[in-house]
Structure 1
Amino acid sequence: MTHLPNVRSPQSGSSGSRQSTDLEPDTAPTFELETNEAAPANGSGSASTPELPRSAGGTNLASNESSAGPALGDTRPSSPLHFVVNLLVSAAVLGAAIYGYTFLGERQRPQRSKPAKSPVTIVATDDVRFHSGPVVIDVNGVVVPLRELRLASEVAGRVVELSENVRAGRKVKQGEVLIRLDATEYELEVKRLQALAQQEAAEENSVQVGIENTLQLQSLAQKQLEIARQERERINALVAQRAASASEVDTARRAELAADASLVELENRRRELTAQLQLVTEKRSLTEVLLERARLDLSRCEIKSPIDGRVVSSEVEEQSFLPTGTTFITIEDTSAVEVRASLTADQMFWIWNSRSVLSTLAASDPAQAEKAVTDADRFNSAVSATISSVIGSEAHQWSAVFERLDGVGIDLNTRTYPCLFRVESPESSLEGSASRQLTRGMFVDVSIETQPNQVLVRVAESAVRPGNRLWLNVDGKLRIVPVTIVSRTGDDVVVQIQPELDHLCTLASTRIIVSPISDPVEGMPVGGQPPSPSGEGAGPGKTGQSDSPPIGDTTSNPIQANSSLRVDG
């Protein structure tokens, strides 16, 4: 026997479907089928089929009911197999959920124990090493001439001869004739003055002869005056004896007066001749001066080079007229040159405080120390320098000496000191190649060798911290001190510690920290890094330190051994 669900007519199928969809949208239709296993007993050979209801039209509703699903409100019990399957599936889902929550859910994080932080920061250190020897200051410079001469004609004239070296860039020798001017006019002037001088000499000789003649006439007039005076006295005596008349007395007196007048006239003549001789002498002196000037002008018609040098510019041609005072050539001195370089105030400090000749002074000899301080200014002027320039593949060098400041102070534009270095020998000496000469306008490198009279320390470049600071390990404590960078030598830096390390010279435990520190604080405890068995780590060989004497070595450090005696610049 088969149980079929109730079915609805086709006319109500659409409404039944809408109702089923609205009530049970996710429920599938369930079909239960029970079949009788007993075969039919009648002989018709067909099973008895229950009568199915028919619709009003006579249509069988079995097929429509199978497609329409179970009727609403069908509560017939399900089979045991279906129940068992549902039970097993529910148990499996529940077990999976318990398993996931237990083993895959949030776990408690394990407790991790951090090692205790050491109060001492381990750092890599290096020895404090004093710098011995010169401090080299490297700057750039430009070559300038030692002096530059502008020659001008001192007389006017036409150029009749011009040297072939009077061209820009040519070299001239001292005493070489550069140009010759037409000297005809000046030669005539010399001859005229020579003739005038001879004429004046003759006039002078004539006046002298006249003076001599006048002197002789004066001598004769003097004698005649004496005779006339004696004659008048004798006549006067005769008159007293009444042996002569008064007319004879008058005659004697007239003779005496005539002799006296003649003597006075000769004296006046002599004075006139003497004055005339003085005038002729002055005229002759003036003529000699004019003659000397004419001869000088004649010599100036030939212009020679006063120095050995190189022609910078020339503005004259042969057969051209050259007025007086016109500059026609410019020559620069090549016997020596100068190099102009700009130095900062810090660099000038080491030049001013450089000792070129100072030796190791004994602290027990104050007289020698006082003499060294007195001669410090004289030593400062002997600061040596090396001028170098690369020309092609050749490196040339010249020796120089710091000479002076080019001006009276600091340049207002660059805020530096313009300095001049004198090169006595502009020719370079390089084996296997031709010598090169320093010429104006060349850009060169200037290496100034100063001998500092203060304590300097050489450290690795990595030990200098930002802001020019140095980290020191002093008795296990960090000390941050400011430094001034003086120069660089290879991978090392020469610095001056501010203040100086005078108080550190007695501390053998002072070392320079070369490794980084994350948060450096003044006074924090630090410790040295133990050396590795392979010899790697911080050290002179690792940080690029040179073989400078360590801080405790006073035998090879004269500055440290005599630190109480300083030369103050």
Structure 2
Amino acid sequence: MASKKQVLLPIGALAVAIALAAGFSSMKKPPVKKEQEVVAPLVEVTPVNLTDITMQVHSYGEVMAQEQTELVAQVSGQVVEIAEQFVKGGFVKEGDVLVRIDPNDYEAALIEAQAGLAQAQSALEIEQAQAHVAKTEWQRIKDNANAVIPSELYLRKPQLAEKLAKFKAAQAQVKRANRNLERTYIRAPYDALVTAKKVSLGSVVNPGNMLGQIDATSIAKVRLPVANKDMQFLVDGGVGAKVTLTGEIAGSTHTWQGEIVRNEGIVDKRSRMTYLVAYVENPYEQVQPLRFGAYTNATIVGQHITNAAVVPSHLIKDNRIALIDEETKLVFSSLAVIREQDGMAYVTAGLESGQQVITSALEYPTEGMQLRLDDEPAQSTMTQLALKED
């Protein structure tokens, strides 16, 4: 059984420990109050500038000739002459003789037809004279009371009609022979670029044989697809609008000016695009020729809009944009955005000249929150936080 001393000793030690802890606790200093600064967020801004804007619609297309002609033989014969410039890639002028077919048979046919015409004309003149004699004879005897009405045959009217018909047929023969002889000359119908040659010297051709192909160089044509949503930004469906074509040649970028001349009037079944047709005059006479087959990008001039602003699209959320007011506080403005293109938004309402658009990111943007600009001293609000010392 434990003695009284053994029981009281632990209790006394515990009481001393408690007293010491209470003493040390009373000696500890109270918590120190410190001030923490909360600095207003620093932002970057750009001023709003309302201006007049000309909308643009972008497209693309391949350069083609407006007119393309296949040269086809209309008479048969041997090719006896080919023009030096009648080669693929050669340029020819309107009226140039490109191919000549042997004309001998057609010259002989023309001479024969001319001879037949001379005979028919002679026979017609003789018959006209005989008809005149018959009519005169009738005039002389018609006073006789017993005279009867003469027949058409007596007045030689059927014979005259026959000779006149043969004369006209002979004229047609001459005309046909002349035409066939002319067709032995294959001429360029316009200034053109030769894109194909299908005949050689000495070849024998028949009507319908293809001799070559030429493309007119007076006008280059480009079909430009335009999305339905972009058609609203063009005036009169784009017809009459100016267009700038851009393409690369030998590693350099070049531009050409053209005009939209027509709308094809249908929506393509596969692409659902509307096609506009642009013309560029004298493409091969430009400082840098616009060659057929080249691929180009196109910028079409569209509607003219007044008092509009252009801002980066990423600054707009739910058709609202963050601004900084005169008190350097954040405010939101609702916008009327008519178009977004190439990362920019076209705004027609909701902004005024001189307003400041916030261009830097804010972690938790709140209407009315205090902000500061680069050229302003840091402004802060003071809060009291209790910080306990160790």
Q: Which residue of 2 aligns with 1:512?
A: 357
- Which deviates further from its counterpart, 211-220 or 472-481? 472-481
Secondary structure of the corresponding residue to residue 63 of structure 2 = strand
How far apart in 1 are the matches of 2:184 and 2:102? 7
- For residues 425-444 of structure 1, the aligned pairs below 5 Å read 425-427=282-284, 435-444=287-296
How far apart in 2 are the matches of 1:388 and 1:139? 11
How far apart in 2 are the matches of 1:528 and 1:447? 44
- Which deviates further from its counterpart, 135-144 or 203-212? 135-144
- Deviation at 1:197? 1.7
Q: Which residue of 1 aligns with 2:332?
A: 478
Please give the per-residue CA displacement for 1:326-381, whole angstroms capped at 9, x wherever unaligned: 222111111221233332233332223xxxxxxxxxxxxxxxxxxxxxxxx49x53
Q: Which residue of 1 aligns with 2:297?
A: 445
Please give the per-residue CA displacement for 1:451-505, whole angstroms capped at 9, x wherever unaligned: 424653122465245x7x44144986424547354545xxx83x233xx41xx46
Name which of 205, 215, 218 aligns with 2:138: 218
Q: Which residue of 2 aligns with 1:388?
A: 246
How far apart in 2 are the matches of 1:456 and 1:422? 31
Amino acid at match of 1:450: G
CA contact (8 A) 2:44 2:360 kept: yes
- Deviation at 1:122? 8.2
CA contact (8 A) 2:61 2:222 kept: yes
Q: Which residue of 2 aligns with 1:301?
A: 184
CA contact (8 A) 1:130 1:456 kept: yes
How far apart in 1 are the matches of 2:285 and 2:121? 62
How far apart in 2 are the matches of 1:436 and 1:272? 77
Name the CA shift for 1:161/1:531 in 2 (closer, same or farther; >3 Å).
same
- Aligned pair count reads 350
How far apart in 2 are the matches of 1:511 and 1:346? 31
Amino acid at match of 1:420: V
Please give the per-residue CA displacement for 1:237-284, whole angstroms capped at 9, x wherever unaligned: xxxxxxxxxxxxxxxxxxxxxxx3xx438x226655022112211221
Please give the per-residue CA displacement for 1:499-524, whole angstroms capped at 9, x wherever unaligned: x41xx46x67965332334456xxx5
CA contact (8 A) 1:396 1:428 kept: no
Q: Which residue of 1 aligns with 2:174?
A: 291
- For residues 34-113 of structure 1, the aligned pairs below 5 Å read none
- For residues 447-462 of structure 1, the aligned pairs below 5 Å read 447-453=299-305, 456-460=308-312
Name the CA shift for 1:196/1:483 in 2 (closer, same or farther; >3 Å).
same
Secondary structure of the corresponding residue to residue 129 of structure 2 = helix
Q: Which residue of 1 aligns with 2:383?
A: none
Q: Which residue of 2 aligns with 1:154?
A: 74
How far apart in 2 are the matches of 1:385 and 1:514? 34
Secondary structure of the corresponding residue to residue 149 of structure 1 = strand
Name which of 229, 234, 256 aligns with 1:346: 229
Between the two proteins, what is the percent identity of the paired residues?
20
How far apart in 2 are the matches of 1:129 and 1:162? 66
1:135 aligns with 2:55: yes
How far apart in 2 are the matches of 1:174 and 1:167? 16
Secondary structure of the corresponding residue to residue 134 of structure 1 = strand
**With structure 2 as the length reference, what TM-score do the two structures score?**
0.75
Name the CA shift for 1:222/1:509 in 2 (closer, same or farther; >3 Å).
closer
Please give the per-residue CA displacement for 1:359-416, whole angstroms capped at 9, x wherever unaligned: xxxxxxxxxxxxxxxxxx49x53321222333335443211112223x4333333333
How far apart in 1 are the matches of 2:353 and 2:96? 70
Amino acid at match of 2:124: E
- For residues 264-275 of structure 1, the aligned pairs below 5 Å read 264=148, 267-268=150-151, 271-275=154-158
- Deviation at 1:125? 4.5
Which has the larger strand fraction?
2
- For residues 233-252 of structure 1, the aligned pairs below 5 Å read none
Secondary structure of the corresponding residue to residue 340 of structure 1 = strand
Amino acid at match of 1:390: E
CA contact (8 A) 2:195 2:213 kept: yes
- Deviation at 1:447? 2.8
Amino acid at match of 2:163: V
Secondary structure of the corresponding residue to residue 350 of structure 1 = coil
* Bigger Cα Rg: 1
Name the CA shift for 1:392/1:158 in 2 (closer, same or farther; >3 Å).
closer
**With structure 1 as the length reference, what TM-score do the two structures score?**
0.53
CA contact (8 A) 1:214 1:270 kept: no
Secondary structure of the corresponding residue to residue 452 of structure 1 = strand
1:202 aligns with 2:122: yes
Please give the per-residue CA displacement for 1:74-101, whole angstroms capped at 9, x wherever unaligned: xxxxxxxxxxxxxxxxx9xxx9xx99xx
Which has the larger helix fraction?
1
- Deviation at 1:138? 4.2
Secondary structure of the corresponding residue to residue 458 of structure 1 = strand
Name the CA shift for 1:485/1:161 in 2 (closer, same or farther; >3 Å).
same
Name the CA shift for 1:290/1:112 in 2 (closer, same or farther; >3 Å).
farther
Bigger relative contact order, structure 1 or 2, given CA contacts below 8 A and separation 6+? 2
1:412 aligns with 2:274: no
Name the CA shift for 1:441/1:211 in 2 (closer, same or farther; >3 Å).
closer
CA contact (8 A) 2:242 2:258 kept: yes
Q: Which residue of 2 aligns with 1:185?
A: 105
- Deviation at 1:307? 1.3
- For residues 2-41 of structure 1, the aligned pairs below 5 Å read none
- Deviation at 1:121? 8.8
Q: Which residue of 2 aligns with 1:401?
A: 259
CA contact (8 A) 2:87 2:196 kept: yes
Can you give the 5+ residue segments of structure 2 that lack an aligned partner in the other structure?
A: 1-12, 26-30, 378-390
Amino acid at match of 1:208: Q
1:172 aligns with 2:92: yes
Please give the per-residue CA displacement for 1:411-464, whole angstroms capped at 9, x wherever unaligned: 3333333332211132476xxxxx431112212232333342465312246524
- Deviation at 1:298? 0.9
How far apart in 1 are the matches of 2:152 and 2:341? 92
Secondary structure of the corresponding residue to residue 216 of structure 1 = helix
Name the CA shift for 1:440/1:173 in 2 (closer, same or farther; >3 Å).
same
- Deviation at 1:306? 0.8
How far apart in 2 are the matches of 1:274 and 1:181? 45
CA contact (8 A) 2:134 2:154 kept: no
Q: CA RMSD in A?
A: 3.8
Q: Which residue of 1 aligns with 2:28?
A: none
Secondary structure of the corresponding residue to residue 201 of structure 2 = coil
Secondary structure of the corresponding residue to residue 283 of structure 2 = coil
